[in-house]
Amino acid sequence: MSDPTKPGATPADPARRAALKTLAGAGAAAAALPLWARYTHAQSAAPIRVGFQMHATGIGAAYGRWYDRTTRAAARVINAAGGINGRPLEIVTEDDGTDPRRGAEVVEKFANQHRVDVAFGTLFSHVVIGSAPRAGELKLPYFVVSEGHHVASGMLNRWTLQPGITDVKSQVLAVAPFVAETLGRKVTMIFPDYAFGHDHRDFFSEAIAAQGGEVIAKLAIPPTETSFTRYFPRIPRETEVIYHVMVGPAVLTFVKEMGEFFGPSRPAIFGFIDSLEAVDLRSPGLDFLEGTYFWEGMPRYVQPDQTEFDRHFRAEVGIDENGASASDPRDVSTYAHMFGCWETLYIIKRGMEAAGYAGPQDRQKLVEAVEAMTDMPESNEHPQGAKLFNGRTHQVFGQQHVSRLENGRLDVVRTVPLEETFYPDEVDYTTRPF
Amino acid sequence: MNARILALHGGLLALLLALHFLLPVYHHGNLARIMVLACYAIGYNLLFGYTGLLSLGHAMFFAAGMYGMGMPLYHLGLGAELAFLAGIAAAGGLALVVGLLALRTVGVAFMIVTLMFSQAFYLAILLAVRWTRGDEGLVLAGADRVLFGLDLTDPDIRYLLALGLFALCLSAALWLVRRPFGRVLVAIRENPERAELLGYDIFRHKLAAVVLSGLFSGAAGAAYGLMFGYVGASFAEVHFSIFPLLWVLLGGAGTVIGPFFGVLFMFYLIDISSGLTPAYMLVAGVALVLLTLFAPQGLVGEVRRRWLRWLP
């Protein structure tokens, strides 16, 4: 394992020297190149390796499939435009089974076996939280696409960033004024009884109170529940709005049973599209949701004011105007979230170019370059819309959408500008050591 | 015979120590994990392999060790040394309570009761979100993960401590199964009525096996949380109760070193096959079926059957 460029390295043996001499003639042309040209060539030939931590199996598989397609499309487009610093981008994929234990192992595999430059793409909060400590110890920049509040809450580390997707706290803050002004001020929340649901409960209760509304009942549903009929009678009669964030396979049952309970006279209903990502909204049983409202990170259905950037994004990823695969209309995407992978890869590119990134020795410079970013204008790189990155909290902010379900499709009724999604910093990662 | 047994087990530990200096960094990290998980498997093997009690709820003991260590460390700022002991005590206490109740049943009923206890424990972790952060879990800060002045974020220290824990568990298991106590456990596994007729208190021996098994599992859980900085509810899920059963079956139930080889085999089966094909679970499944068909006593069990009959 001696390095011939280092002093004291083992000299080549005579036979090897002789062989090199005979090769010298054939290699003359290459040798004639100036030193800098050979160096540049060697550098440009080596790809930038991005470890993609994919939820290929487990509960996150539907998201993982689309995160994968989006990531591959972005890498292809970036490479067609010359790569990063003139080097091609290579995606190294590992399945984490949507499991925090395997997630941490995958991060180690990226750093120590695949020797990737950065790791990226994790969605489910518990996998992020399980993997981030190892990324921090291995000093591997870890770009998550999770929308969890865990990054901005300060519980993670200097090496973990979320520059490509907004977090749940800013999303909830953004939609609260719409709920209070348009739908009603007395809200009953129905949410899964674990951390994701509790984040919604806490952030929304605070946000709606700031709008002069109140949460009059909080129905926490145990995660193992498969039937919900016994919870609906607990919804107070004076409820004006139901706010629901159920997720997982039971969501269709939840909607169907809610429809059976209320019949035609129901309060206004507001939900997060997270419940129905990768689900066809015309599925049997979902008709009860007609006329209800959803938060969307990026509108699934093409809107009348579609930007050229959305058009470009759909074309490159292979998405039709209804948010499904262009080759199979039944294969519905996770459109409200997956743009985050696309945008994050462009931020990695921009960060590496700003830092003059040449290899793993520049990982710290890369993190510092991303921390220094602020404005991200709406563009082909940021098709979801303009964003503002907060380097102190490692979290990006962007516009949010409220859409109404009408005739089996979602139409945007309000777009909340990014300035209305801010909240006070809870951490300053830039003061933490690397 | 004693010399052979000592040479084999001591040799394995010496080999693991030598590998510390030889292995590339990725495999070095993997082996640290494998050794800690092997402690969990050794604990499971005491109950399943030696006593013949098939538990489907051992994840609760692993998680009790992990949370029993993690919560005092995270919330109360307890030092890592005391937190580690608290984790082991939590697992032992839970094993005692579960054992007292579950051992009133046998066979399939025992499997179901342990499974139910484990699910209740898992849901309790999810519901006690104020202290456990539910499914998301707790991240233990690097500064808190210092054991007797040794920084557990350092991969070398982590490996050597994992080896130390594994050596302790392996030696304790070897000592236990070769003592009269261990012989009685085997007698209970083979023929409980006969053991009872000979005057042994079956219930107390089984209870002791459950508690010991819980202590081993809890020590592994506490160590895993401390070493890798994360305490999460997924370690209490049902699949984490199935894993030790698989590891022990693959490695060889009722052999002292079998569990280690079971964990090693399973870890690399997943790791290597996932690099070859996205359908790696299928590859792993086929490999497990083949192994069960052609080496029904597990890897080490098969070695014992064919060549080394003296293996403990």
| Whether the predicted pLDDT of A23 surpasses 80 | no
- Whether residue A265 is found in the same domain as residue A407: yes
Closest-CA distance, A69 to chain B, in angstroms, reads 15
Place of tokens 């000979």: B198
| Whether the predicted pLDDT of A12 surpasses 60 | no
> What amino acid is encoded at A238 in this protein?
E
- Whether residue A159 is found in the same domain as residue A175: no
Nearest-angstrom CA–CA distance, B110 and B102: 6
Nearest-angstrom CA–CA distance, A10 and A18: 16
Residue B191: CB atoms within 10 Å = 13
Terminal alpha carbon distance of chain B = 10
Whether residue A195 and residue B281 make contact (CB cut-off 8 A), yes or no, is: no
- Whether residue A291 is found in the same domain as residue A408: yes
Whether residue A95 and residue B278 make contact (CB cut-off 8 A), yes or no, is: yes
| Whether the predicted pLDDT of A147 surpasses 60 | yes
Whether residue B136 and residue A195 make contact (CB cut-off 8 A), yes or no, is: yes
Whether residue A193 and residue B271 make contact (CB cut-off 8 A), yes or no, is: no
Interface residue ranges in chain A relative to chain B, Cβ cutoff 8 Å: 56-57, 94-95, 99-101, 104-105, 108-109, 112-113, 125-126, 129-130, 132-134, 136-137, 148, 150, 155-156, 193-196, 198, 222-224
Nearest-angstrom CA–CA distance, A393 and A163: 10
Nearest-angstrom CA–CA distance, A366 and A310: 28
Contact between residue A48 and residue A87 where contact means Cβ atoms under 8 Å apart: yes
In the predicted model, what is the mean pLDDT of chain A?
88
DSSP state of A113: I
Whether residue A95 and residue B123 make contact (CB cut-off 8 A), yes or no, is: no
Specify if A256 maps to a domain: yes
Place of tokens 């004693």: B2
Specify if A151 maps to a domain: yes
- Whether residue A77 is found in the same domain as residue A217: no
Whether residue A195 and residue B133 make contact (CB cut-off 8 A), yes or no, is: yes
- Whether residue A374 is found in the same domain as residue A284: no
Percent of chain A's residues with pLDDT above 90:
73
Closest-CA distance, B29 to chain A, in angstroms, reads 8
Nearest Cβ partner for B142 among A56, A137, A193:
A137
> What amino acid is encoded at B138 in this protein?
L
- Whether residue A280 is found in the same domain as residue A408: yes
Q: Burial-class residue A287 by CB neighbours within 10 Å (0-12, 13-18, 19+).
A: middle
Q: Given 3-state DSSP classes, what are the helix, strand and coil percentages for chain B, each rounded to the nearest 5? A: 80, 5, 20
What's the rounded mean pLDDT across residues A140-155?
A: 94
DSSP lists the bridge partners of residue A84 as A87
CATH number, position A390? 3.40.50.2300
Sequence-distant (≥ 6) Cβ neighbours of residue A206 within 8 angstroms: none
Whether residue B139 and residue A56 make contact (CB cut-off 8 A), yes or no, is: no
Q: Which string of DSSP letters, residue by residue, matches A48-77?
A: EEEEEEE--SSTTHHHHHHHHHHHHHHHHH
Specify if A176 maps to a domain: yes
Specify if A23 maps to a domain: no
Closest-CA distance, B86 to chain A, in angstroms, reads 22
| Whether the predicted pLDDT of A39 surpasses 60 | no
Torsion of CA B206, B223, B141, A145, to 10 degrees: -90
| Tokens matching residue B275 | 């690099």
pTM: 0.87
pLDDT for A236-245, tens place per residue? Answer: 999 999 999 8
Contact between residue A400 and residue A297 where contact means Cβ atoms under 8 Å apart: yes
- Whether residue A284 is found in the same domain as residue A182: yes
Strands (E), A193-259: 214-221, 241-244
- Whether residue A150 is found in the same domain as residue A183: no
Number of domains within chain A: 2
- Ramachandran angles phi, psi of B107, nearest 5°: 60, -135
Sequence-distant (≥ 6) Cβ neighbours of residue A31 within 8 angstroms: A24
- Beta strand pairing call for A324-325 and A328-332: antiparallel
Domain range spanning residue A274?
169-296+403-412
| Tokens matching residue A169 | 């706290």
- Whether residue A123 is found in the same domain as residue A253: no
DSSP state of A86: T
Nearest-angstrom CA–CA distance, B214 and B47: 9
What pLDDT does residue A397 have? 97
| CA distances to A47, A80, A81, A177, A379 from A86, in Å | 9, 11, 9, 46, 21
Whether residue B136 and residue A126 make contact (CB cut-off 8 A), yes or no, is: yes
Note down pLDDT in tens along chain B; length 312 residues.
488 889 999 999 999 999 999 999 999 999 999 999 999 999 999 999 999 999 999 999 999 999 999 999 999 989 999 999 999 999 999 999 999 999 999 889 999 999 999 999 999 998 888 899 888 899 998 888 999 999 999 999 999 999 999 999 999 999 999 999 999 999 999 999 999 999 999 999 999 999 999 999 999 999 999 999 999 999 999 999 999 999 999 999 889 999 999 999 999 999 998 888 888 888 888 888 888 888 888 999 888 888 888 888
DSSP lists the bridge partners of residue A120 as A52, A143
Interface residue ranges in chain B relative to chain A, Cβ cutoff 8 Å: 24-26, 29-30, 33, 123, 126-127, 129, 133-137, 139-140, 142, 153, 228-230, 232-235, 271, 274, 278, 280-281
Nearest-angstrom CA–CA distance, A4 and B203: 69
What pLDDT does residue B45 have? 96
| Tokens matching residue A312 | 């470009």
| Whether the predicted pLDDT of A5 surpasses 90 | no
pLDDT for A85-130, tens place per residue? Answer: 999 999 999 999 999 999 999 999 999 999 999 999 899 989 999 9
Nearest-angstrom CA–CA distance, B106 and B53: 8
pLDDT for A325-336, tens place per residue? Answer: 999 999 999 999
What's the rounded mean pLDDT across residues A409-422?
A: 95
- Beta strand pairing call for A387-390 and A375-376: antiparallel
Do the interacting molecules here have an ipTM over 0.90?
no
How many contacts (CB atoms, under 8 Å) link A and B? 87
Sequence-distant (≥ 6) Cβ neighbours of residue B185 within 8 angstroms: B46, B50, B51, B177, B205, B209
| CA distances to A105, A291, A315, A400 from A409, in Å | 41, 10, 20, 18
Sequence-distant (≥ 6) Cβ neighbours of residue B214 within 8 angstroms: B43, B61, B64, B91, B92, B94, B95, B96, B98, B99
| Whether the predicted pLDDT of A293 surpasses 90 | yes
Task: Of A173, A105, A143, give the one whose Cα is nearest residue A399.
Answer: A173
- Whether residue A194 is found in the same domain as residue A244: yes
Specify if A331 maps to a domain: no
- Beta strand pairing call for A400-406 and A409-416: antiparallel
Specify if A214 maps to a domain: yes
| CA distances to A156, A400, B17, B36 from B14, in Å | 37, 59, 5, 17
* A429: helix, strand or coil: helix
Place of tokens 């998405």: A319
Specify if A323 maps to a domain: no
Q: Which string of DSSP letters, residue by residue, matches A26-40?
A: HTHHHHHS-HHHHHH
Nearest-angstrom CA–CA distance, B11 and A362: 42
> What amino acid is encoded at A65 in this protein?
R
Q: Where are the alpha helices (DSSP H) in A149-212?
A: 168-178, 195-210
What pLDDT does residue A222 have? 82
- Whether residue A175 is found in the same domain as residue A292: yes
Binning pLDDT at 50, 70 and 90, where does residue A44 land?
Answer: low
Contact between residue A95 and residue A118 where contact means Cβ atoms under 8 Å apart: no
What pLDDT does residue B274 have? 86
- Whether residue A273 is found in the same domain as residue A408: yes
Whether residue A193 and residue B136 make contact (CB cut-off 8 A), yes or no, is: no
Task: Of A139, A379, A106, give the one whose Cα is nearest residue B29.
Answer: A106
Nearest-angstrom CA–CA distance, A127 and A133: 11
3-state secondary structure A321-382: CCCEECCEEEEECCHHHHHHHHHHHHHHHHHHHHHCCCCHHHHHHHHHHHHCCCEECCCCCC
Any idea which of A224-233, A294-303, B81-90 has the lowest mean pLDDT? A224-233
Question: What's the order of all strands across the beta sheet hosting A48-54?
Answer: A89-95, A48-54, A118-120, A142-143, A160-161
